[in-house]
Structures are given as structure tokens and as C-alpha cells.
Amino acid sequence: MNGREDDDAGLVVLPTPCTAPSYDGWFAMPLQGAIAVASPSASIYARQIADDLGAYGATGWKVVASGGFATLSIECGLTAGAYRIVCSPETEVRITGGGSEGLRNGVQTFRQILSQTWPMLPRMRMEDEPRFRVRGYMLDVTRGRVPTMAWLRHWVDKLCYYKYNQFQLYFEHTFAYDGMSQVWDGADPITPDQLKELDAYCAARDIELVPAVASFGHQYMALRTTKLRTLGELPEDADRPFSFIERQQHHTFNAGDPRAFATACAMVDDVCAPVNSVQCNIGGDETFDLGRGRSRALARRIGRDELYARWMNAMVAHVRRRDGRVQMWADIALSMPGVMARLPQDVVMLNWDYAPHVNEANVKAIADTGLPQLVCPAVHAWNELIPRVNDAWSNISEMARLGAIHGARGMLVTDWGDFGHINDPRMALPGMIFGSTCAWSPTSDRQETFEAASRLEYGDAHGAIVERMGKVAEQDAWRWEDMVRYLELDDGSGNVNHEVLNTIEGLRDISGAGAALGEARCAYVRMRLANRMPGVIGELKRSLDDLGCALAHAGSRGGTDTSFDDMVNVRLPLALAMEGTLLLNEIGALLASQYVHVDVGDIDARKVADAWSEWSQTYARVWMTVSRRSELWRLQRLFGQVERLLRTMPQ
């Protein structure tokens, strides 16, 4: 590469810059040299560059106070988060940031360019800044999968690389609350010391670690303990058999019990204590049982709206007493007229909407109240082996666009793990990248982002992997969610679990008719598969082959996670997800054959059972590369049920 030919050589940067950089030829970068930093706090970013160069073979780079080939500095005239990069043989490399975060952002852009061009550098000038001030990512660490500390540090590095500046960990029962060991026993919880360590790791990378605590609803595990069960709306349900589906439905503290509120406050205090952020996400979403159990009489007297507002305002006041600032989910407040008008004007509303086609009315409704909001889309990986990439893009890009129109303070991308968190956290990478790109530039282009993510993250020179992941997800007819619903329709005694049946849109009518288990399962399989089997299997195999070919050719220099280290290797979980997706759909085909009498050809239940057994063992090994054992055993129990189901199918 030299002269002016092919000036940018198709270089990609993520998030996509709001302002296009200018390129003007190439020059060689020395194999050894120095990176100068103006302050010790910037040394970590200089070290990132030096470590990258070392990985490319240029091991002679050091960090100095002045006089380096590359200079990292801060300029007061730049806005927070903004940066400037100038590269030329005359000036060498100059990266300037608006504050520490701006410098960090500039360094990440430079690292991305370097990963594609070393040992050459483009002669270039670039100035850029984000559209949203807050660019956050929320990771569910409570619904079955608790990450290892090594993985959390790795993920923080990844968030740094893509210029996020806020990270939330979502807790229900997986934090080691003081005096509540019954709540977290057996869950491999994150401890206060570990959270403090992670907070320091985030802060060094200009990422604010914000605790997210379920403080009203979503207390299913806590309210099943002998110590706390009387604090819930429905204590009579505490001894029901565990259910992934019911865990998402019945879980609300009794809003009329002062002991319940004191317990919730203690949980919030415990999680907030180890971190330096003054912010706390106190939850407040999906309080489905509110006023329908122990607080029914109180709700009838004052109204469910008032009951909800009193609890949340009391929790806001509690957090404020320690000079904290509050975030809360907006769904219940949006559904209850008058609640938002009663909230303090500095409470940040977390406006979640995970639909591919977002409801603009909710974004506008919060904006009209004057309350600050973060728009909250999702990576669309929950309950999936391969994420719903196309839904993720539609959801994230639309939320970013609407947030920009209605003056949102920023965006918080959510990564959930419903039904045991079967989704490997590495599979969220496309959605995480979409979030960083759209929060930086809400008008980012879909195709450009898909191709850039494939090239930069996966090392796919053809830019095809992310698009092909989306194609596989579209052909996926029988998903993990379907498998769980099918299994949990059995209440454990061979009868229908009506709590589960009532969660399935389209089958609630047969619940009231007293359907037998076989009838309920037949209706569910017919609803999900009758119009898709058997043709979907062939289509899925072709899509999986296309994705496999792209994966086989990926991993050239430029991908950030294509090593064969078990923790960071993205090939491993993707290959596992591909195999599991095909197996689940073959299981779906066999169920369709059994209940709907669809001809599924030569799919053999015994062979599928053998393959499923082997896959399940590999899944457990791959789980342990990034996660604590946590609640893996619950998934393994269901894996075993699936295998037994297959082995008892008629030939």
C-alpha cells in the first residue's frame, strides 16, 4: 500500500463515525517505538495500543511521558466523548480526546484501524463525537448464568472497544446479600468484593458500573425461601415445583408489608455499596401480582396505581438518602395513568420496548412528561442459541432513531437470559455492536453495520457472517423457548400446568376447557409447527451450511475474538449453537410427526437422542469457559428430559 491508490482500502470503524474521516495515502509504522501520555490515567489506553502491536509481532513498544511516535492527550475545547486522530509521516500519530472518555474513544478507533492496516498506517484525519451521551449495556447475571470474573473483565474490555460508557449488571437472587444466604445459596453469586473489583476495572476504562436490582417484582427465587416467602403477594405458591416460565410470572413483593419494603431496601443497599456510581437501577418492572394477592384489600381501597407509586416513590426516597440517583423501568408507569406525574423529575425512566417495530407513543409519552429517559432495546438473544439478528437490528436502530427525535438522554441495550440463560454471552456480539453503533450515530446503515461487524469482530473478509446468522434465526422453527414450554406444560404429575398454558397466546381458551396434557401439547405443536414442517429443515440446513462456510473462512487478522483460547474464541459457541439449532428443529419435526402427522422423512429419534446427549455434554463444557456453574444443572435437567422424550418416541 502506497501513494494515493485505494486511500482507505475499505477500512471499517465501529461505531460508524458520524463524520466521515479523510484518508490520503499510506505510510509505514515502525516496529518499535514509544507512546507518550500526558497523564498516568491515560497509560491504560497507551498499553492497549502497545499490547495490540505486540500481538502483531511488534513487541518493542513502550509507554513514556513525552516524545513518542504516538501521543495521547486531552483537549478542553473538545466536548465530552469527542476525539480527533491525525496520522501522517510529519506529525506521526496524535490522538486527542475531550476528557478521558474522549481520549479512550479515539484510541479504540485507532486500534480498530491498526488491526486492519498494520504495519502500514493511513495518512488520515478524523474528528468524531457520539450522538447520545449515555451508551449503556445491561447484562442479565441472574436467570441461570453467572459469568466468571475473567469473562466479565473480558466483556468490559469489549464494551470499551466499542465505546460504551455505562455497564449494568442485573441482579435478582445472584448477589451475596448480607444475611440472606437462603436467597443465593447454590447460585454461585457475585460477592461484594468481586463487584468492587469489577467497578474499579470499569472505571479505569471510563465505563460507569451501575447496579441494577429487582426491588419490587422479579423476586421469584427469594420468595420461595422459608425466610422470605411470607413477604410476597402469593406465599401459597412458594412450594410449587420450580418453573422457568413461572419464574417470569409470579414474583412480586407484597406492597402492603413494611417487612417486604425493608428487605428490598437492604438488597438495594447491599448491591450499591461496593460501587462508586451514585446511580442505581431499582427495577420496578412487570409487577404482575401487584394487588392480586396479600395486598388485594389495600389495592381495592387506594387503587393499584397508588400502591405502585407509593412503593416506587419510597424506594426513590431511600436511594436519595444516600445521595443516590435513580433509574427505573418505565413499563408499569406507562400503563398506569398518573404514576409518572408523581415521580421526582430527576428519575431516569428506562423505556424498554423489544419489538422489532417500536411503539413511538411510549417514547413520546415520557418525553412529554419532562422526565429524562434512556431508550432500551435488546440484543434479541434470550431463549436462543443463535440470536435473532434481524429483529435486534430493527429494534435497536428504531429505538435509537426515536430516542434522538424525542430527546432521550441515551440508550441502554439489554441482554437477557430467560429460561435458564441458554444463550452463550458471546452470541450477543452482533446486538452489542448494533447498540454501540446506533447509540453513537442513530442514522447508521444496516448493511454497512452488518458487514463491518462481520469483518471487524469475526475477521470475515467477505462481511457475511452476521447476515447469515440472521438468516439461520429466521429459519429456526422450534426454539429453546418452545422446548421449555412443551416440557413445562406438564405440572410434574402428568396433568396440565395451567399457569404455563395461560402464558401461551392462542391456547388460553383450552385452559378453561380443562384440556388434558396430550391435548395441550398437541395444540401447541400444531400452532408452532403445522405450517412450517417439514420444509423448514431443508431450508435451515442450507442456511447453516452457508453460515458454516463463512465461519470457516473467518478469523484472519482483523477479527478481535477468533483465537482458540476457550474464553474468547467466538468460533466455539457459534459452532455449538449451529449444531444445537439443527437438533432442536429435528426434535420439533419429530414432535410434528407425532402430533400433526407430518412426514419428516428419515429423521430417526434414536439418532437424534444420541446426538442430543453428546451435544448437551459439550454445551456444559463450553458453558464453563465463560460462566460459573451457577444454575447449569437446571438446564441439564431439561436436557435429560428431552433425551428421555426422544428415546420413548415410537419408531
Distance, in Å, from the CA atom of 119 to the CA atom of 114, rounded to the nearest integer, reads 8
Q: Tell me the CA distances in angstroms from 281 to 169, 256, 295, 342, one per residue in order.
A: 10, 22, 25, 18
**Residue located via cell numbers 401459597:** 236
Distance, in Å, from the CA atom of 568 to the CA atom of 148, rounded to the nearest integer, reads 13
Is the bond preceding 15 in cis, omega lying within 30 degrees of 0?
yes
Specify the 3-state DSSP secondary structure of 174. coil
| Of 342, 344, 350, residue with least CA distance to 366 | 350
Burial class (CB in 10 A: 0-12, 13-18, 19+), 603: middle
| Of 106, 86, 110, residue with least CA distance to 97 | 106
**E-only strand ranges, 224-294:** 279-281
| Of 199, 315, 200, 209, residue with least CA distance to 253 | 315
* Grid cell digits, residue 633: 444443572
* Grid cell digits, residue 270: 447491599
Q: Dihedrals φ, ψ of 489, to 5°?
A: -65, -20
Distance, in Å, from the CA atom of 515 to the CA atom of 522, rounded to the nearest integer, reads 11
Q: Which of 208, 286, 398, 631 is catalytic?
A: 286
**What are the DSSP calls for 307-357, one per residue?**
HHHHHHHHHHHHHHTTT-EEEEE-HHHHHSTTTGGGS-TTPEEEEE---SS
Q: Tell me the CA distances in angstroms from 367 to 97, 328, 360, 378, 413, one per residue in order.
A: 31, 15, 11, 21, 19
Catalytic (active site) residue 505 = no
**What are the DSSP calls for 78-115, one per residue?**
SPTT-EEEEEETTTEEEEEESHHHHHHHHHHHHHHHHH
* Residues with Cβ within 8 Å of residue 565, at least 6 apart in sequence: none
| Of 243, 247, 249, residue with least CA distance to 502 | 249
Specify the 3-state DSSP secondary structure of 379. coil
Residues annotated as catalytic are 286
